[in-house]
A = this chain, B = another copy of it.
Amino acid sequence: MTPETAVEALSAIVSAAYVVGPDGDQEPYVVDWRGRYHGTALAVVKPATTAEVSAVVRWCAANGVAITPQGGNTGMCGAATPLGPRPQIVLRLDRLNKVRWTSRLGDAIAVDAGCVLADVQAAAESVDRLFPMSLGAEGSCQIGGNLSTNAGGTAVLRYGTMRELTLGLEVVLPDGDVLSSMTSLRKDSTGYDLKQLFIGAEGTLGIITGAVLKLFPRPRGRAVAMAKLDAIEDALSLLALARASLGERLGSFEIMSRGQIEVIAENVSHLAIPFALDSAFYLLIELVDTLEGQDLAGLLEGLLGEAFERGLVTDALVASSETQAEALWKIRHSVSEGSKRAGYVISHDSAVPLDAQAEFVTRVTARIAETRPDARIALHGHIGDGNIHVLAIIPGVAPDQADAMKDVAAAINSIVDEETAALNGSISAEHGIGVANRERLARVADPLELAWMRKVKALFDPQQLMNPGKVLTPDS
């Protein structure tokens, strides 16, 4: 297969205007956004409809051409970059960007997979509803990518992951058939729920082209506080206390270590830290309610007062205005910027069961410090989900020194992976596997589970055309 042949055949399906051959500017599509993975493609194809996706896939299947599906190309693990030895195309979903319908009565929205997350949030808001998925890349990531990585973000505690937000799905299978369950049913007990296989599969079993997603009532008020604590255990006890009484009012429960906030304070200018950095951990707590006129600040003060009496928190600050609430959130949102400026960041995305989090943090912190005494260890994450991001920051090393840092990163990754696996955790809570983590997954996963993943892959994609080399290591 030459690129010329591919471009010609694919142009016949989507028109030449939406095919980028090797002579065109393929760069934005064959390199991941962090610049860590560089691939090559026979062509980049931009179909506009599910039927066009199907036709492109049929052509690929008939000609043994592999496919890398690509949404916003904002992934963390190289899952959307065309890598490996096989001739392949990049199939961009951008032009499948319509909201198909919204239902206020049914609290549901049906969208094309290429819709940008922020646009779906806006479409929900336009019918006075909330689509709660929220994450850093929301301005450019696409729903298909969110589904394919079973995205998490900052609202999982209250609303669940992408899987839990999904009611229906439309998928183009590796042979070009379109498997559709695009309804908004909340209850269905009619056999195997096949759509679940494609969520989190990173495009290795088929290409998601559409989805029906849950909508929620919009919160009408919030209260925000920052609390200081001595230990993870105290954060978890406070979480249990808050959940038991406040229930679904608990919107966010985000943790940062002192080391993390110090890194932010040193490296992000114009940022006020309105409290002393004299405790080990800091919790950002947000209460929300769909009902107007509720005294959420009062409830939050009551919770923190009780926590103080029980010795769970050492101090706390409840925002007295929306401006102050924003300022507290600003600290949390400055994690990436601050960390990046502090040195070379070796980051992790582990989740462990909630009651294992304290042990996890203690173990990895001690072992990283032993292995690399100069590393600054910064922790932040969604403690309500068991998902704490462990950063090891090597001071004085620039972000582009990936090669020089390779061995250090591998050693620290191994520590985190070992402790995650020992505590029945997941080495990738919300970022996925792609190529970045496939060897790590192969090391820590249950061999029986991996074997069954391979069997499922072989069933759906016997030619191994769909996003080859992602999630699973290539067959040897």
Contacts and interface: CB of A to CB of B under 8 A. Distances in A.
Contacts of A183: 353, 424-425
B453 A192 contact: yes
Interface in A447-462: 448-449, 452-453, 455-457, 459
B104 A187 contact: no
Nearest to A429: B187
Nearest to A292: B245
Contacts of A200: 189-193
Given A105-B239, A353-B103, A426-B185, A191 B471 contact: yes
A253 B261 CA distance: 46
A291 interface: yes
A179 interface: yes
A438 B70 CA distance: 39
B104 A189 contact: no
A267 interface: no
Contacts of A459: 455-456, 459
B185 A244 contact: no
Contacts of A38: none
- Name the residue among A244, A245, A429 with the largest chain B CB count within 10 angstroms: A244
A248 B291 CA distance: 10
**How many copies, total?**
2
Contacts of A431: 189
- Name the residue among A246, A248, A292, A455 with the largest chain B CB count within 10 angstroms: A248
Contacts of A432: 189-190
A259 interface: no
B105 A184 contact: no
- Name the residue among A106, A188, A246 with the largest chain B CB count within 10 angstroms: A188
Contacts of A163: 193
A236 interface: yes
Interface string A146-167: 0001111000100011011000
B161 A164 contact: no
A217 interface: yes
A49 interface: no
Contacts of A292: 245
Interface in A279-313: 289-292, 299
A463 to B, nearest CB: 15
Contacts of A199: 193
A472 interface: yes
A89 interface: no
A465 B190 CA distance: 20
Contact of A104 (B177, B240, B249): B240
Contact of A217 (B190, B245, B387, B424): B245
A181 interface: yes
Nearest to A351: B187
A270 interface: no
B190 A201 contact: no
Given A179-B448, A187-B426, A193-B196, A246 B354 contact: no
A189 B430 contact: yes
A128 interface: yes
A290 B245 contact: yes
- Name the residue among A193, A201, A432 with the largest chain B CB count within 10 angstroms: A193
Nearest to A199: B193
A191 B164 CA distance: 16
A386 interface: yes
A9 B452 CA distance: 29
Give the 3 A-B residue pairs with the shortest CB-CB distance, closest first.
A247-B290, A196-B196, A248-B248
5 contacts: A187-B430, A216-B247, A217-B243, A243-B290, A247-B248
Given A179-B446, A248-B248, 12 more contacts: A103-B355, A104-B240, A107-B354, A150-B188, A189-B433, A190-B426, A190-B433, A190-B437, A191-B441, A247-B290, A248-B290, A249-B291
